[in-house]
Chain A
Amino acid sequence: MHCLDSYLFVSAAMFVLGLLAVVTRKNAVSILMGIELMLNAGALNFVAFSRFSTANLDGHVAALFILIIAAAEAAVALAIFLNLYRLKATSEVDKANLLRG
């Protein structure tokens, strides 16, 4: 079972799950969780490709980058959500339609 396909399969499943969460959930925190899932699916791909293609650590470095960026992104996103809540008294993204044309 130590083949690349299984890793890619798991990664794709995680990405689709994350995407579904982003698209379907109304709660902002749930969406943020979906985004985390998608980021981690990406990170898993980097690591998997790094393990099965060459012997260097480039893929690992990229995965670490993604972790750091995800942490920063979560901090920024949560700050935005808090402000949204303070403004609209809700955490549902449907209500945050201020950019509506």
Chain B
Amino acid sequence: MYLRQFAVGALENSNIDNIMFQLAIYILLAPLVAFTINIFWGKRYLPRGGDWISITAIWSGCAFALYMFFTKVLGNYDPNYFQSWQFDWIRWGDYQLRIGIALDNVSLIMLVVVTLVSSLIHLYSTAYMKGDPKYHRFFAFLSFFSFSMIGLVLADNLLIIFCFWELVGLSSYFLIGFWHEKDSAANAAKKAFVANRIGDVGMLIGILLVFTAMGTLNVTEVIAGVAAGKMGGMALTIAGLCLFCGAIGKSAQFPLHVWLPDAMEGPTPVSALIHAATMVAAGVYLVVRIFAILTPEASLVIAYIGGFTALFAATIAVAQYDIKRVLAYSTLSQLGYMVMALGVGSYTAGFFHLVTHAMFKACLFLGSGSVIHAMHGALHHIHSHDDAQDMRFMGGLKKYMPVTFITFLIATVSLSGVPLTSGFMSKDAILGGSLAYFMMHPQHWLLPVFGFGAAILTAFYMFRLVYMTFFGEFKSGPEAATALHESPRAMTIPLIVLGALSIFVFYSFNPFNPASGWFSTLNPQPDRAYEQLQAVAAHDTHAEAKSHDSHSKHEAVEKAEHNDSHGTVVESHGEEHGEEVHATDAGGHGGGHDVHHTAHLIAMVISIILATLGILIATMGYYWHKIDPNVWKKRLGPVYLGMYHKWWWDEIYEYTFIGGTKLTANILAWFDGAVIDGLVNFVATIGRFVSVVHGWFDLYVVDGLVNLTAWIVGIFGRFTRLFQGGQIQRYVLYTIALVAVFIILKVL
């Protein structure tokens, strides 16, 4: 239906004459400028550590992003809206790497999410981080992160996406390890960085595979290239999975999930911004971007990884006591949902959940930050060293912190999937998608099981958290309770905004049918590029008739490749292509729409039942105390232990990968010490021996010869010396004797 074509427009010049791109560049660069100013001059020369510079940068960016959103996304109301601005970055011989900014509904919505959440968290941090000795650095890093994340969202090129991808990883490292005096924070930062690197290697391989096959990295051109058959089959599957490796690392999917819970060592605003709302969603965003090139095999792997992560992380969240860790595992679980949605082909649902999740999860994290802030003060008041994040010391906070409580409750309800919330709509869409996938491919019954299993657990652990934190008696004593207070306004305002954005009305006016809302309308599922190719091939009875579609695409690609200008503004509105292409959307399974419709209805009913059930169990256990959790802990036995110990993944990695690495290092060290050094020493010994022999030879043979010569010469000299007595008379006598001899010889 829509493969974005880019017709290179008439505007072939380098100056950006489109206000949208100027705004986009402002939004991108303003936080970078703020970072530069704050990191160098923030502490010494600027009042308040320069936080107002960062805040100005991101708030103005947010305002422009909202303007762009309202004019272009809601204003155009065009599902195929696409604009790009490019310029030559590098030329290697004939090849030119063109990079630039791509604006479409996805990137603009993402831009709004990032700048909005980031703005609110900047505001929140002014209160939360107050008095921290590194206050100015915190804001500098927040700005740096915002810059990186906005760049990642706007980039139109896989290479640039990768660059910003690494930059968000770096800023995540800085911010997790913000309190690096604590060993745990420093280690968590390292862990996050290393785990991300593992995924990034895969992503880089994927990028190189794509580049090798297509000769381009521009996302649109890559999709067009796949549709034109430049890459396919196994190679495309592998490339897609390699790119997905990056998402596994960044979005903390199953094998590399271990870094995200530890990342909670960072300040809570950071957890909210980076490790809940935006950066971890970057992996999902990447899959959204490359959705069109994923093959069915790759999608299946993605779906299973996402689904497994969703359920698996939810089981761990059930048994945690640290309020931020519960939320961290919940984030893992929700990211798993998004990935699963994209894997089963529910593109819109996955991206929708990304956006709604960003709002309510940021709200939850900021709410937990507010709670921790209050708990910290209260425990400090009674000189207690208990953990301010442990829910077992909380309870009854709702009467001390009403705003935090209400916003937290709204976000919790949204996350649990209760109707009339945004979370209900998006999660329901995902569950419906997985159910529809199951109905079309009955052998993959595990996927909806993962989804529905995680749904009930989500409702349970979130309400468990709410009951333990906000209801019942305050468990650190009445003395500490006197110090409890609602957080300052700078912290509650973001909570209110984010809590409000967790309500259905912002996304669709019909809370039970998100498909009618603007979000779903503007983010329709893109055609899979390979399906497009198959469809074209299937109808290819006479090439000329059908080539209209691929021909124009070819032309566009060629134009872009041979475009010598330094910058171009490309604007195109993809055409509605024939219904016959759309019919193959569901992979040849007829009646795809009916299946989807039925699946959504069933999923909606089941998910409401499951959410209610989860909430009910939590209420029984933690509010009415009808069920004693401790009895169930014993009854569950090893399962509970597994959930409590995060299924021992940290330990497994400790003994396999880390232990293996250490063992390998030790073996190599031994090999180095014993074998390599031994060889070197052996060679040295041989060298020494040879030089001893050589020295002996030199001393006795060479010197002996020289001395012998000298000795012979000396003998000769001593003999001739005999004749030179220095006595003139003897010389005369010799002369006479010789003369006599000559005379005698002559006579004879």
Contact = CB atoms under 8 A, between A and B. Distances in A.
Interface of A: 19, 22-24, 31, 93-94, 96-101
A101 B721 CA distance: 6
Contact of A101 (B724, B728, B736): B724
B726 A22 contact: no
Interface in B691-738: 720-721, 724-729, 732-733, 736
A48 B745 CA distance: 29
Contacts of A93: 727-729
B736 A19 contact: yes
A99 B726 contact: yes
A37 to B, nearest CB: 14
Given A19-B736, A101-B721, 14 more contacts: A22-B729, A23-B729, A23-B733, A23-B736, A93-B729, A94-B727, A94-B729, A96-B726, A97-B727, A98-B726, A100-B724, A100-B725, A101-B724, A101-B726
Contacts of A101: 720-721, 724, 726
Contacts of B721: 101
A81 B725 CA distance: 19
A31 B732 CA distance: 12
A34 B130 CA distance: 129
16 contacts: A19-B736, A22-B729, A23-B732, A23-B733, A23-B736, A31-B729, A93-B728, A94-B729, A97-B725, A97-B726, A98-B726, A100-B724, A100-B725, A101-B720, A101-B724, A101-B726
A13 B719 CA distance: 36
A39 to B, nearest CB: 15
A79 B316 CA distance: 128
Nearest to B730: A23
A100 B722 CA distance: 10
Contacts of A100: 724-726
A65 B728 CA distance: 26
Interface residues on B, range: 10 to 19
A22 B735 CA distance: 13
Contacts of B726: 96-101
A31 B721 CA distance: 25
A22 B732 contact: yes
B741 to A, nearest CB: 16
Contacts of A22: 729, 732
Task: In the A-B complex, list the 7 residue pairs whose CB atoms are closest, starting with the nearest.
Answer: A100-B726, A97-B726, A101-B724, A99-B726, A101-B721, A23-B729, A23-B733
A84 to B, nearest CB: 12
Contacts of B733: 23
A31 B727 CA distance: 13
A96 B727 CA distance: 7
Contacts of B725: 97, 100
Which of B729, B732, B733 has the most C-beta atoms of chain A within 10 angstroms of its own C-beta?
B729
Contacts of A19: 736
Contacts of B728: 93
A66 B721 CA distance: 36
Contacts of B729: 22-24, 31, 93-94
Contacts of A94: 727, 729
Contacts of B732: 22-23
A24 B732 CA distance: 10
A38 to B, nearest CB: 11
A101 B716 CA distance: 13
A69 B732 CA distance: 21
Nearest to A22: B732
Nearest to A94: B727
A94 B720 CA distance: 20
A85 to B, nearest CB: 16
B126 to A, nearest CB: 107
A54 B456 CA distance: 162
B720 to A, nearest CB: 8
A45 to B, nearest CB: 17
Nearest to B733: A23
Contacts of A23: 729, 732-733, 736
A101 B730 CA distance: 14
A5 B536 CA distance: 150
Contacts of B727: 93-94, 97
Contacts of A98: 726
Nearest to A25: B729
Contacts of B736: 19, 23
A93 B725 CA distance: 12
Contacts of B720: 101
Nearest to B728: A93
A24 B733 CA distance: 9
A82 B520 CA distance: 138
Interface string B339-365: 000000000000000000000000000
Nearest to B725: A100
B113 to A, nearest CB: 111
A15 to B, nearest CB: 11
A27 to B, nearest CB: 11
Nearest to B721: A101
A30 B732 CA distance: 15
A93 B732 CA distance: 13
A101 B720 CA distance: 9
A15 B728 CA distance: 18
Nearest to B723: A101
A53 B566 CA distance: 127
A75 B724 CA distance: 28
B149 to A, nearest CB: 101
Contacts of A99: 724, 726
Interface in B102-149: none
A100 B733 CA distance: 16
A79 to B, nearest CB: 17
Which of B721, B726, B732 has the most C-beta atoms of chain A within 10 angstroms of its own C-beta?
B726
A98 B724 CA distance: 11
A90 to B, nearest CB: 14
A98 B733 CA distance: 19
A94 B725 CA distance: 10
B723 to A, nearest CB: 8
Which of A24, A31, A101 has the most C-beta atoms of chain B within 10 angstroms of its own C-beta?
A101
Which of A31, A94, A96 has the most C-beta atoms of chain B within 10 angstroms of its own C-beta?
A94
A93 B721 CA distance: 19
A2 B720 CA distance: 50
A28 to B, nearest CB: 10
Interface in B266-291: none
A19 B740 CA distance: 14
A16 B726 CA distance: 23
A100 B730 CA distance: 12
Interface in B217-270: none
Interface in B418-475: none
Interface in B549-576: none
A98 B727 CA distance: 9
A30 to B, nearest CB: 11
A100 B731 CA distance: 12
Nearest to A26: B729
A36 to B, nearest CB: 16
A100 B736 CA distance: 20
A8 to B, nearest CB: 17
A46 to B, nearest CB: 21
